[in-house]
Amino acid sequence: MRDSPSESNKLQKNMFTGSSNKLTILRLSKIRFSMHITIRQVSSFTAKDTIILLLGDNEKVPSGILKSNDEKAFLESELKAGRKSVFINQYKRQLYFFKPDYKLEEYKLLESCRKGGDTILSSVNRYKNKKVIILDQSGVKNLAISFAEGMALGNYQFLRYFTKDKKKNLNSLQEIGIKSSFVKSADASQLEHTISAVFRARDLVNEPQSWLNATRLASEFVKLGKEARFKVEVMRKSRIKALKMGGLLAVNMGSKQPPTFTVMTYKPRNAKNKKPIVLVGKGVVYDTGGLSLKPTGNSMDYMKSDMAGAAVVGATMYAIAKMKLPVYVIALVPATDNRPAEDAYTPGDVIEMMSGNTVEVLNTDAEGRMILADALHFAKKYKPELVMDFATLTGAAAAAVGPFGIVCMGTAEEKTKDKLKESGTKVYERLAEFPFWDEYDELIKSDIADMKNIGGPIAGAITAGKFLQRFTDYPWMHFDIAGPSFLHQPMNYRGKNASGTGVRFLVDYLRNLE
Catalytic positions, please?
Answer: 294, 369
> 77 by DSSP, 3-state: which?
helix
**Cα 494 off chain centre by:** 11
According to DSSP, the residues that pair with 46 across neighbouring strands are none
Phi, psi of 226 (to 5 degrees): -65, -40
122-126 contacts: CB < 8 A, separation 24 or more? 123/87, 123/94, 123/96, 124/50, 124/94, 124/96, 124/151, 124/172, 124/173, 125/155, 125/171, 125/172, 125/173
Phi, psi of 89 (to 5 degrees): -95, 110
> 110 by DSSP, 3-state: which?
helix
Q: CA 460 → CA 280, 403, 470, distances in Å? A: 20, 17, 16
Residue 72: count of CB within 10 angstroms of its CB: 14
Q: CA 193 → CA 149, 199, 325, distances in Å? A: 11, 10, 12
Phi, psi of 175 (to 5 degrees): -145, 135
DSSP string, 454-494: ---SS-HHHHHHHHHHTT--S-EEEEE-TTTSEESS--GGG
**DSSP for residue 2:** B
d(CA 41, CA 186) in angstroms, rounded, equals 8
β-strands 94-98, 85-89 pairing: antiparallel
Residue 186: count of CB within 10 angstroms of its CB: 10
